[in-house]
Amino acid sequence: MTTGKIILNNGVEMPQLGFGTINQFGEQITDNVAFALNHGYQLIDTANRYGNEVEVGKGLKKSGLPRESYFLETKLGPTLYENDNAIDDTLKRLDVDYIDLMILHHPVNNYIYAYKMLEKAYKEGKLRAIGISNFPVEKIQEILDQCEIVPAVMQVECHPYYPAEKVKPFCDEKGIRLQAWFPLGHGNANLLNDPVIVKLAEKYNKSTVQVIIRWHIQMGFGLVPGSKSYAHIEDNAKVFDFALTEEEMAEIATLNKHEPFYHVTEESLHRMAVTKCNFEE
Ligand SMILES: NC(=O)c1ccc[n+]([C@@H]2O[C@H](COP(=O)([O-])OP(=O)(O)OC[C@H]3O[C@@H](n4cnc5c(N)ncnc54)[C@H](OP(=O)(O)O)[C@@H]3O)[C@@H](O)[C@H]2O)c1
């Protein structure tokens, strides 16, 4: 049975299951972060761009838990890639002394300069690990060629319909661990009601979401499912009391549609490059 932990390439231990905080604001996200940390999650994922780091930070405090008992992760927004104060400002917004993992949100703008800022903060002890998100293989290779520290984590769209196959072999070879965004396909009804997943949910007396989360765990992925519902948040963490067989994992592998839900285009990359964080306005 898995422990639900990943040892990153610098020796830091990262919980596999995290709570994603996109599109949640104010008291809602403060309460949900505190609730998640008290109901089976030890990792919280946010981003400069989500516009909720202050409220996420309040949720961490509201949990009543000591700082070292959870793993805090955030993403540097692309409009801040050449802002030398951006990491210190993030620490202030979250009201913490250190961040467990900081990643570059998108492969746009001056991401080499930004990655070097992460490296500097890592060496200063402000970040325990550094990584990237949404980088195609050739841009990860640029980071490897031009920077010093191999990214510990790459966050990418990943679920049974698209198991991140474009980057997985490369990242596996380089020791970069994958962490899934849209781990539930953004709640896609076809995925959540897929007959193969439904059959396994019935067999194990689990929800289809729990089966999908269990698949991520056994694939060795990190994942940050989101939810606005206390009931879902709590249920989604109950995945460490059953295991899919090798045959069942192989059956889920047949669901691969080789297509992400989210398609990167020139236009979407431009939007990622220019959209400011709410605190920049
Ligand atoms: N790096 C990036 O570029 C990037 C991009 C997108 C997202 N992310 C990260 O990934 C996280 C997750 O993304 P996401 O929330 O969009 O997608 P997701 O986790 O794949 O799916 C969330 C959806 O699933 C539903 N859901 C959750 N548990 C459920 C359950 N037990 N039963 C039925 N439905 C359930 C939620 O609805 P309810 O609210 O009703 O539970 C919500 O609609 C984000 O919070 C963010 O941290 C990163």
50: annotated active-site residue: yes
Q: What is the C-alpha to C-alpha distance for residues 69 and 227, in angstroms, rounded to an integer? A: 22
Distance 192 CA to ligand 1 centre (A): 12
Is 110 in a helix, a strand, or coil?
coil
For a substitution probing ligand 1, which of 227, 234, 271 has the most ligand atoms within 8 Å of its CB? 227
Distance 117 CA to ligand 1 centre (A): 29
Residue 56 is predicted with a pLDDT of 98
Q: What is the C-alpha to C-alpha distance for residues 43 and 251, in angstroms, rounded to an integer? A: 29
Q: What is the C-alpha to C-alpha distance for residues 190 and 164, in angstroms, rounded to an integer? A: 18
Report the predicted TM-score, pTM, of the whole model to 2 decimal places: 0.98
Q: What is the C-alpha to C-alpha distance for residues 266 and 270, in angstroms, rounded to an integer? A: 6
Atom 24 (ligand 1): residue with closest C-alpha?
187
Distance 21 CA to ligand 1 centre (A): 8
Q: What is the C-alpha to C-alpha distance for residues 83 and 85, in angstroms, rounded to an integer? A: 5
Residue 281 is predicted with a pLDDT of 73
Which protein residues are within 6 Å of ligand 1, measured from CB?
Answer: 20-22, 45, 133-134, 155, 181-187, 207, 209, 224-229, 232, 235-236
Q: Mean pLDDT in runs of 10 for the chain (281 residues)?
A: 86 98 98 98 98 98 98 98 98 98 98 98 98 98 98 98 98 98 98 98 98 98 98 98 98 98 96 95 73
Residue 12 is predicted with a pLDDT of 98
Q: What is the C-alpha to C-alpha distance for residues 10 and 143, in angstroms, rounded to an integer? A: 17
**Helical pair 195-204 and 208-219, crossing angle rounded to 10 deg:** 90
Distance 148 CA to ligand 1 centre (A): 33
Atom 48 (ligand 1): residue with closest C-alpha?
181
Residue 113 is predicted with a pLDDT of 98
Residue 70 is predicted with a pLDDT of 98
Pairing between strand 5-7 and 13-15? antiparallel
At the topology level of CATH, where does 11-275 sit?
A: TIM Barrel (3.20.20)
Q: What are the DSSP calls for 205-258, one per residue? A: T--HHHHHHHHHHHHT-EE--B-S-HHHHHHHT--SS----HHHHHHHHTT--S
